[in-house]
Amino acid sequence: MSIRINNIILDIDDLEESITRKIAKELKISEGDILEYRIIKESIDARKKDNIKFNYSVDIKCEDEKRVLSESKSKDAKPVEDYEVLSLVHGKKTLKARPIVIGLGPSGLFAALTLAKEGYRPIVFERGQDVDNRTKTVESFWNGTSDLNLESNVQFGEGGAGAFSDGKLTTRIKDKRCSFVLQELVKAGAPEEIKYVGKPHVGTDILKDVVKNIREEIKALGGEVHFNSKLEYINIKEGKIENIVVNGAEIYCEALVLSIGHSSRDTYEMLYKAGVFMESKPFAIGVRIEHPQELINNSQYGKFANHPKLKAADYKLAYQSPKFNRGVYSFCMCPGGMVVSAPTEENRLVSNGMSYHARDLENANSALVVTVGPKDFEGSSPLNGMEFQRYYEGLAYNLGGGAYKAPVQLLGDFLKDKNSTKIGKVKPSYTPGVELRELKKCLPDYVVETLKDGIIKFDSRIRGYAMKDAVLTGIETRTSAPVKIVRNESLESISAKGLYPAGEGSGFAGGIISAAVDGIKVAEKIVNEYKEI
């Protein structure tokens, strides 16, 4: 047992050593009685810009914790059980073949790791390259020295889409497996602080090494990882998976974890053709918005904006427009980051955001998106949301003039329906290049008008948000999967026993942590049903 103490408040200039003094005072013990303490959560209270505070939750060890807790009578202290990795009960059925994992993004990575730790020796097939070669391929595309690689790009390859992002680890889910994911990430090289900071992130530069280290652990535990290996077909017979085709080779399979990510459109089409039941689901589309990072820092932190204990400020904004009855919100906000080109198909344009761990670049960027759903898509096919994405990505590509240049517009001009004629104070960070265009030509009218409504509202929350020189970059469409692959209580596809859709591509997760947790949950179902190999 440990004692958890919440609401330990430090002034911005207090040293971290002050925590032990405050723990001792709260529990009415001496500092020498504290055997150890561990920060569980650190958050910044910046509601009063002239008096910013740090708020900590800590777990402590001391002698006779029950007695100390009882005598302290602290309202902010409570007993907690120390975290333990759950021991999984293995099933009794025998697998005729090793379980297969498709995709090495967060859900595939942690599904394979869980299976490997439990002795199931999984085989992983990833359509893209290993993260080192993938990085070279992506950077070559960005600088214009090579064409778009349809199999290995910002969305496909080792690490998934999260490998070229901010590496955000925030999640709204409450699941004990989140702690396991964070522990494994730290074990693989992520900063220790991700276990406790209020808005943890790794950064794309560090995340790449973390992913490699987890891959090597999977292999050390008896797993296999194959790159440049694309799932081409799934054969389903009498309601269960029979085999799969990878790079033209037929492979017998009884348990298949399908961690394909939210952008594998060709795989969605193949699954639909194979008879896998799926449904169209809502997502959001819009633009990337760039401001000077200094503006966001000043708005969030006031006179403390450049304080050494405060990192680049972020924001999270949401608004339900009563005028258009749609939600508009910020998504994947990247402090001190850049806007990047992230398509997966030829002649279609997609923008995304990323940051390195230091978050020290000049601009802050975020997706600014509007909710869309099946009522906005033509027809009744579950793939119509995907076709909706394709249509507007094609418009954006053509509007940018081809060669994956992005259409951009100054915010002030966007609000006035004017074409921008020159870049102002904010320099667009997007590569391979930009063209000044009217973004309303590559977005639905209702998205454009809802964006305008939201931007005016957000300016009342962040002073200067509607600055006329802020840059809008088209087009953001990959906020989440456009389909949901329906699962039963065993987390298998309702169409095929042995097929386990997982992570963002299944429509049951959103973000690195929730996708990883979903991969773990799917792996646990396999463990519970079958014996280890």
State the span(s) of the chain assigned CATH 3.30.70.2700.
Answer: 2-80
Looking at residue 518, what is its pLDDT? Answer: 97
Exposed e or buried b for every residue in 128-158, given b needs 16+ CB within 10 A?
Answer: bbbbeebbebbeebbeeeeebbebbbbbbbb
State the span(s) of the chain assigned CATH 3.50.50.60.
Answer: 100-279+483-529
Gap between the Cα atoms of 233 and 138, Å rounded = 27
CATH number of the domain at 2-80, please?
3.30.70.2700
Looking at residue 218, what is its pLDDT? Answer: 98
Gap between the Cα atoms of 355 and 206, Å rounded = 11
CATH number of the domain at 100-279+483-529, please?
3.50.50.60
Gap between the Cα atoms of 420 and 493, Å rounded = 49
pTM of the model: 0.93
Report helix, strand or coil for 26.
Answer: helix
Alpha helices per DSSP H over 380-511: 384-399, 411-416, 445-459
E strand map for 17-88: 34-45, 53-62, 77-80
The answer to whether the CB of 336 falls within 8 A of the CB of 355 is: yes
Place of tokens 């001792």: 24
The answer to whether the CB of 354 falls within 8 A of the CB of 334 is: yes
Q: Which residues contact 514 (CB under 8 A, 6 or more apart)?
A: 171, 172, 173
Looking at residue 84, what is its pLDDT? Answer: 63
* pLDDT, one tens digit for every residue, the chain (533 residues): 899 999 999 999 999 889 999 999 999 999 999 999 989 899 999 999 999 999 999 999 999 999 999 999 999 999 987 656 668 999 999 999 999 999 999 999 999 999 999 999 999 999 999 999 999 999 999 999 999 999 999 999 999 998 888 778 877 777 889 889 999 999 999 999 998 887 888 988 899 999 999 999 999 999 999 999 999 999 999 999 999 999 999 999 999 999 999 999 999 999 999 999 999 999 999 999 999 999 999 999 999 998 999 999 999 999 999 999 999 999 999 999 999 999 999 999 999 999 999 999 999 999 999 999 999 998 899 999 999 999 999 999 999 999 999 999 999 999 999 999 999 999 999 989 999 999 999 999 999 999 999 999 999 999 999 999 999 999 999 999 999 999 999 999 999 999 999 999 999 998 999 999 999 999 999 999 999 98
Place of tokens 């002034």: 11
**27 token code pair:** 């529990």
- How crowded is residue 234: how many other Cβ atoms within 10 Å of its Cβ? 26
Task: Supply the DSSP symbol for 369.
Answer: E
Looking at residue 85, what is its pLDDT? Answer: 62
Looking at residue 275, what is its pLDDT? Answer: 96
